[in-house]
């Protein structure tokens, strides 16, 4: 195992840790929760996996890690929970930045996909789609948090997470290294569980 594979595995461990922390917090609150440790672990994981993807030549995955890292940092500056904070970018600037980031992500992924001739074109398309959904879910979460003035997870975020995790698992299973797919093996479960908890909470509230 190479040094960068070890770095990637540590990044995946951080991703698993954030999922576990958010899941436990959600089970305690009986609805979708937003603990700050989720964002700290997400930021560290994105940095480590982004470096691993760059050094290992998996550049289709790199834009998602970079864009998400910026969104994780922004969420750390927003007030968690349901209390509007003083730091607010505003929905329109956030939407414009998010659109630019999503466009950059798509263009980069299409360009870098030519560097993976060993994969069939449909697997590359699945990888691009999975990364686009996986990354734009945080752009959506960021925009809605900016509009509300506090960091939170909307229902759409969990639906996109569920879809993106399935596509990413399918794509990363085709790669030679196993450090990328292991993070998606159970990634579908937590968004599914959050959807169940949130819908139950809303039913009780109604």
- What digits encode the pLDDT tens for the residues 10-52? 998 998 899 899 999 999 998 888 899 999 999 999 999 989 9
From the number of C-beta atoms within 10 Å of its C-beta (0-12, 13-18, 19+), residue 183 rates as buried
Of 99, 90, 93, 98, the residue nearest 147 (C-alpha):
90
What integer pLDDT is reported at residue 69 of this predicted model?
Answer: 85
What integer pLDDT is reported at residue 125 of this predicted model?
Answer: 82
What integer pLDDT is reported at residue 104 of this predicted model?
Answer: 65
Rounded-to-integer distance, Cα 194 and Cα 183, Å: 18
Rounded-to-integer distance, Cα 165 and Cα 131, Å: 9
Provide the whole-model pTM.
Answer: 0.71
> How many residues are given for the chain?
206
- Parts of the chain with a pLDDT under 50: 82, 85-87, 117
- What single-letter DSSP state applies at residue 154? -
Of 58, 78, 80, the residue nearest 4 (C-alpha):
58
CB 196 within 8 A of CB 29: no
What integer pLDDT is reported at residue 76 of this predicted model?
Answer: 85
List, in sequence order, every residue forming a beta bridge with 151; answer none if it has no partner.
80
What phi and psi, each to the nearest 5 degrees, are found at residue 80? -80, 170
What integer pLDDT is reported at residue 98 of this predicted model?
Answer: 58
């Amino acid at each position: 195992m190479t040094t960068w594979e070890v770095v990637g595995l540590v990044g995946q461990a951080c991703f698993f840790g954030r999922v576990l922390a958010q899941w436990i917090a959600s089970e305690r609150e009986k609805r979708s929760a937003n603990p700050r440790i989720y964002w700290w672990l997400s930021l560290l994981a994105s940095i480590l996996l982004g470096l691993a993807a760059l050094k290992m030549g998996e550049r289709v995955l790199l834009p998602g890690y970079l864009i998400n890292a910026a969104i994780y940092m922004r969420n750390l500056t927003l007030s968690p929970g349901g209390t509007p904070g003083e730091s607010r970018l505003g929905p329109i600037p956030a939407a414009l930045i998010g659109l630019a980031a999503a466009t950059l992500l798509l263009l980069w992924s299409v360009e870098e996909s030519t560097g993976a001739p060993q994969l069939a074109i449909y697997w590359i398309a699945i990888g691009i789609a999975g990364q686009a959904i996986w990354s734009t879910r945080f752009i959506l979460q960021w925009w809605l948090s900016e509009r509300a003035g506090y960091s939170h997870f909307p229902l759409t975020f969990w639906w996109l997470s569920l879809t993106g995790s399935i596509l990413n698992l399918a794509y990363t299973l085709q790669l030679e290294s196993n450090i990328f797919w292991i993070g998606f093996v159970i990634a579908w479960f937590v968004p599914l569980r959050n959807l169940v908890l949130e819908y139950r909470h809303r039913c009780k509230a109604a």
